[in-house]
Structure 1
Amino acid sequence: MAYRSEFYVFDGDKPVPAVIRNYTKADFDQLIDIQAECFPPPFPSDLWWNKEQLTNHVELFPDGALCIEVEGVLAGSLTGLIVDFDPSHPEHTWEEITDSGYIRNHSPHGKTLYIVDISVRPKFRKLGLGKLMMQAMYQVVISLGLDRLLGGGRMPGYHKFAHDLSAQEYLQQLIDGRKKDPVITFLLRCGRTPLTVAENYLEDEESLNYGALMEWKNPFKV
Structure 2
Amino acid sequence: MKQKNTLKKIELRNLQIEDYFELKRSMIESYSEMEDMYWKEHHIEKLLKVFPEGQLVVLVDGKVVGSALSLIIDEDDIDENHTYEEITGNYTFSTHDPKGNIIYGIDVFIHPKYRGLRLGRRLYDQRKELCEQLNLKGIMFAGRIPNYSKVADQMTPKQYIEKVRMKDLFDPVLAFQLSNDFHVRKVMKNYLEGDNESKDFAVLMEWNNIYYEPSPKLINSKKSVVRLGLIQWQMRPLYNLDALFEQAEFFIDAVSGYSSDFALFPELFTAPLMADYNHLNEPDAIRELAKFTEPIRKKFEEFAISYNINIITGSMPYLENGKLLNVGFLCKRDGSSEMYTKIHITPNEVSTWGMSGGDLIKTFDTDCGRIGIVICYDVEFPELPRLLADQGMQILFVPFLTDTQNGYTRVKHCAQARAIENECYVAIAGCVGNLPKVNNMDIQFAQAAVFTPSDFAFPTNGIKAEATPNTEMTLIVDVDIDLLKELHEHGSVKTLKDRRFDLYEVKKKK
Instruction: Tell me the TM-score normalized by structure 2.
Output: 0.39
Distance 2:153 2:17 in 1: 46
Alignment correspondent of 1:200:
190
Distance 1:108 1:218 in 2: 18
Distance 1:58 1:87 in 2: 22
Whether the aligned pair in 1 keeps the contact of 2:7 and 2:61 (CA below 8 Å) is: no
One-letter code of the match for 1:33? R
Moved more, 159-168 or 97-106: 97-106
Computing the radius of gyration over CA atoms, which structure comes out larger, 1 or 2? 2
State whether structure 2 residue 113 is matched by structure 1 residue 123: yes
Distance 2:34 2:78 in 1: 34
Distance 1:87 1:185, change over 3 A: farther
Alignment correspondent of 1:63:
53
Whether the aligned pair in 1 keeps the contact of 2:22 and 2:63 (CA below 8 Å) is: no
Alignment correspondent of 1:209:
200
One-letter code of the match for 1:43? M
Whether the aligned pair in 1 keeps the contact of 2:7 and 2:60 (CA below 8 Å) is: no
Deviation per residue, 1:173-216 (Å, 9 max, x gap): 11222211011001112221111111111121111100011111
One-letter code of the match for 1:39? Y
- % identical aligned pairs: 30
Distance 1:98 1:169 in 2: 29
What are the residue-to-residue correspondences of 1:129-208 with 2, within 5 Å?
129-203=119-193, 204-208=195-199
Whether the aligned pair in 2 keeps the contact of 1:141 and 1:148 (CA below 8 Å) is: yes
Residues matched between the structures, number: 210
Instruction: Tell me the TM-score normalized by structure 1.
Output: 0.88
SS in 2 for 1:99: coil
What is the Cα deviation at residue 104 of structure 1? Answer: 2.3
State whether structure 2 residue 23 is matched by structure 1 residue 28: no
Whether the aligned pair in 1 keeps the contact of 2:50 and 2:96 (CA below 8 Å) is: yes
What are the residue-to-residue correspondences of 1:61-100 with 2, within 5 Å?
61-86=51-76, 90-100=80-90
Alignment correspondent of 2:103:
113
One-letter code of the match for 2:203? A
Alignment correspondent of 1:219:
210
- Structure 1: gaps (5+ residues): 1-9
Moved more, 175-184 or 82-91: 82-91
SS in 1 for 2:143: strand
Distance 1:88 1:22, change over 3 A: closer
Whether the aligned pair in 1 keeps the contact of 2:136 and 2:209 (CA below 8 Å) is: yes
Alpha-carbon RMSD across the aligned residues, in angstroms, is: 2.1
What is the Cα deviation at residue 111 of structure 1? Answer: 0.7
Residue among 22, 35, 39 paired with 2:31: 39
Distance 1:88 1:81, change over 3 A: closer
Whether the aligned pair in 2 keeps the contact of 1:158 and 1:170 (CA below 8 Å) is: yes
Q: RCO (CA 8 Å, sep 6+): is it higher in 1 or 2?
A: 1
- Structure 2: gaps (5+ residues): 214-510
